[in-house]
């Protein structure tokens, strides 16, 4: 028999949600979103459930993001399944952010894209020495969605801008520093944590197992990152990186130049606008409009082809350079025209 894609269970005072597609690093499907939403809706008014815990099955990670191949196939066909998925997914992300009970997300291993939507909006976010957290979207011709623009626009200085534009990923110390996580727990202590959450409150359970987080390399690099990424012009940002006296900045310029030029420009504007939005829900509304515009676009289909279908890692972006992306095209992503 086929295993359920989400396992829902109870242990004492805790409701436990387990993403259960380990071969796909628990990549998120519409069915999974629906099952999680139903569990959360039920538990919200159940006084016997005082804490919700989210984990992923297997050893590789919590969640590698949305099922991008299915979204790609839907985009090729001009379908509407992706629009329905994003609407449900973003609604779930908002539910998690506003949940009336402690929601403990165990961000062990790989946590990318849609996995961040499920975990980084939680009230209690736990990372480990195995955590690798990122929003890789500009590398596939997309943008940081699932509330990514809201979260990254609120990171210290321009650290979020740096991660968003370069499709960067971070380890535990950096994740805590940029506001994507709260607690550091060694992976071999996770079973004890999950067991204790069945009987005691999250703060007490975490105090017994948490360790001091590793230092953040990103915070140490803030001076050159903040200087390079200020403003609203990606072409100028790239020029500053290329001309920097800091070797890491010049290396970053090569990374940035390899991403979809259209995605990078749209992402920067989305970040700047999200920074002024008063709530996650408003940011998700903007992201939904952007997702629909990206779906079926040349760079999204080409980026997924290069990274996940043919795996030649050689996307042919159009336009291929930042200078060639017309600002009216960028504006069209936000106006729907």
Residues noted as catalytic: 66, 114, 137, 145
Distance between CA 302 and CA 260 in Å, rounded? 10
CB count within 10 Å of CB 250 equals 13
Residue 121's contacts (CB-CB under 8 Å, 6 or more residues apart) are: 93, 94, 96, 97, 147, 151, 280
Burial of 337 (0-12, 13-18, 19+ CB in 10 A): exposed
Non-local (6+) Cβ contacts of 274 within 8 A are: 149, 150, 153, 283, 286
Residue written as token pair 């012009």: 233
C-beta neighbour count of 37 within 10 angstroms: 16
E strand or H helix at 51: strand 51-56
Distance of alpha carbon 325 from alpha carbon 327, whole angstroms: 6
């Amino acid at each position: 028999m086929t295993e359920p894609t989400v396992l829902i269970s109870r242990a004492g005072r805790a409701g436990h949600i387990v993403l259960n597609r380990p071969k796909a690093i628990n990549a998120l499907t519409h069915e999974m979103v629906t099952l999680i939403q139903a569990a959360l809706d039920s538990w919200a008014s159940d006084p016997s459930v005082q804490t919700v815990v989210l984990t992923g099955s297997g050893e590789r990670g919590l969640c590698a993001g949305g099922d991008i191949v299915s979204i790609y196939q839907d985009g090729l066909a001009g379908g509407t399944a992706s629009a329905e998925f994003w609407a449900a997914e973003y609604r779930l992300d908002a539910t998690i952010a506003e949940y009336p009970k402690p929601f403990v997300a165990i961000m062990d291993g790989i946590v990318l894209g849609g996995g961040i939507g499920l975990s980084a909006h939680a009230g209690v976010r736990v990372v480990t020495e195995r955590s690798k957290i990122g929003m890789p979207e500009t590398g596939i011709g997309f943008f940081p969605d699932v509330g990514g623009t809201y979260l990254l626009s609120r990171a210290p200085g321009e650290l979020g801008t740096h991660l968003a534009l370069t499709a960067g990923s971070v380890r535990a110390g950096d994740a805590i520093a940029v506001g994507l996580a709260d607690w550091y727990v060694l992976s071999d202590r996770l079973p004890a944590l999950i067991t204790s959450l069945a009987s005691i409150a999250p703060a007490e359970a975490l105090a017994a197992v948490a360790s001091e987080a590793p230092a953040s390399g990103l915070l140490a690099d803030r001076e050159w990152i903040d200087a390079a990424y200020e403003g609203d012009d990606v072409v100028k940002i790239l020029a500053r990186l290329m001309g920097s006296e800091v070797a890491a900045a010049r290396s970053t310029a090569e990374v940035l130049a390899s991403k979809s030029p259209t995605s990078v420009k749209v992402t920067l504007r989305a970040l700047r606008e999200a920074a002024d939005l008063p709530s996650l829900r408003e940011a998700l509304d903007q992201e939904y409009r952007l997702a629909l515009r990206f779906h079926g676009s040349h760079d999204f289909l080409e980026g997924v082809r290069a990274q996940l279908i043919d795996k030649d890692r050689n996307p042919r972006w159009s336009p291929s350079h930042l200078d060639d992306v017309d600002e009216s095209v960028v504006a069209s992503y936000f106006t729907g025209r």
